[in-house]
Chains A and B, each alone.
Chain A
Amino acid sequence: MTDLIPVIVAKYNYWLYIVLMMIGLYAMIAKNNLIKKLVGMNIFQTSIILFYVSMGCKTGGATIPIIQHGLGVGHHAIDPAHYVNPLPHVLMLTAIVVSVSTFGVAVALAIKIYQRHKTLEEDEILAQSRER
């Protein structure tokens, strides 16, 4: 137990994202309402985004990935340790867009399901489709 605490303190960010991710996964598996499942999916995606952005972080005074005094000074050596990793930011910029797109299409499907079955509860929809 004593050697577990330093491990958690050094990597508590990963622990938090995994907890968040599991909350989303549980909502997707166990919730009965389709909108609640979608909210779970969004929580899951958000945890992935947080995970990636935290991977790009660098301790020791690194700043945002915009080169300072970039224009007009001419060539000067750029130390990568002064700027955080830009790659996860780029990947997550596009992942946010994908999450919006999936959420939009999923809500559109939920609207069609509601128009047809007049409910969004999963067990009632299953019962209705078994009757037919």
Chain B
Amino acid sequence: MKTAGLIIVVLAGAILLYATRDFPPWGAPDSPASTHVSPRYLQKSMEETAVPNVVTSVLADYRGFDTMFETTVIFCAGIGCFALLRILRRKPEDRYYRHIATEITLHLKGGKLPEKSREFERIDTLWTPYDLIIKTMCRILVPFIQLFALYVIAHGHHSPGGGFQGGVILGASMILVAISHNMRTAIGRISEKTDNLLMPTGVFIYAGIGTLCLILGANFLDYSGLSTILFSGPIMARSHGIFGVEIGVGITVMAVMISIYNNLASAGKQDEGL
């Protein structure tokens, strides 16, 4: 198996290396990839959409359909993880509680105590005493990370950024809470139900903005049709439409990142993670 694999890989690599003879040299301005449609995007983006960041305008406007279904792909991945790990069979759970005064640990098979009381607190299976420095630092940092994420989403028109990047940063901030405290704390902030509702909400916002354009008499995802309700010219309406779409993308990406992490790290039980 290993030799056969090695032969296949070396053969395929040799063919590909031979094919690089026909490729344009590195960074050639007249290479085929940079000659047909990309100069048009660069020249017309300001004029047609008033968005200086060409990547954003191509992503959300010129290739709006691609991005819409891309958002759907992430949504499907979140649903796939949920369906694989969360829905299928579930065993009775072992729970561990720690008596705070004496530090004695109780192991319960089935049954449950309150999540947190004055005498007992629920702990993870591989519980170690809390590291105060890590917990405090993460608690202080998380709001700033989320603020930065909102900046990345909102400023995607003028600087590198946008819905995907900002959504990932938002999701990472919640994952940081789950890692530094425990998963039940993070789920207490954004419950599973809220998270699963946010996942389709982003896709719905994206497709809803497209449908709104349709209702207002333009083509699907042609944001210039929004100018009548946004009280602005058709060019600024396209800029605002891109922003609305980016918000939808950000919400979906954030919710899916949190959902995938919670399901994977706890193998679908969503009570204790890494």
Using a CB–CB cutoff of 8 Å, the interface residues on chain A facing chain B are 7, 10-15, 18-19, 21-22, 25-26, 29-30, 54-60, 62, 64-68, 70-71, 75, 78, 80-81, 83, 85-90, 93-94, 96-98, 100-102, 104-105, 107-109, 111-112, 115
Establish whether residues B20 and A104, one from each chain, have CB atoms under 8 Å apart when the complex forms. Answer: no
Within 8 Å by CB of A18, from B17, B58, B81, B256, lies B17
Q: Chain A at the B interface: mostly helix, strand, loop or mixed?
A: helix
How far apart are A77's CB and chain B's nearest CB, in angstroms? 8
Asked if A66 and B158 sit within 8 Å, CB to CB, the answer is yes
In the assembled complex, the CB of A15 is this many whole angstroms from the nearest CB of chain B, namely 6
A-B CB pair tally, cutoff 8 Å: 166
Main secondary structure of the interface of B (DSSP, over half): helix
Q: Would A86 and B46 count as touching, CB distance under 8 A? A: no
CB atoms of A22 and B13 under 8 A apart: yes
- Are A54 and B5 CB-contacts (below 8 A) given A66-B158, A104-B81? no
B164 contact from A70, A83, A93, Cβ within 8 A: A93
* CB–CB B59/A66 < 8 A: no
Smallest CB separation, A112 vs chain B (Å): 6
Interchain CB contact under 8 A, B85 and A29: no
Q: Does B74 contact A (CB under 8 A)?
A: yes
The residue from A7, A62, A71, A90 contacting B50, defined by CB atoms under 8 A apart: A71
List residues of chain A with CB within 8 A of the CB of B43.
78, 80
Q: Is there contact, CB below 8 Å, between A29 and B5?
A: yes
* B42 is an interface residue with CB less than 8 A from chain A: yes
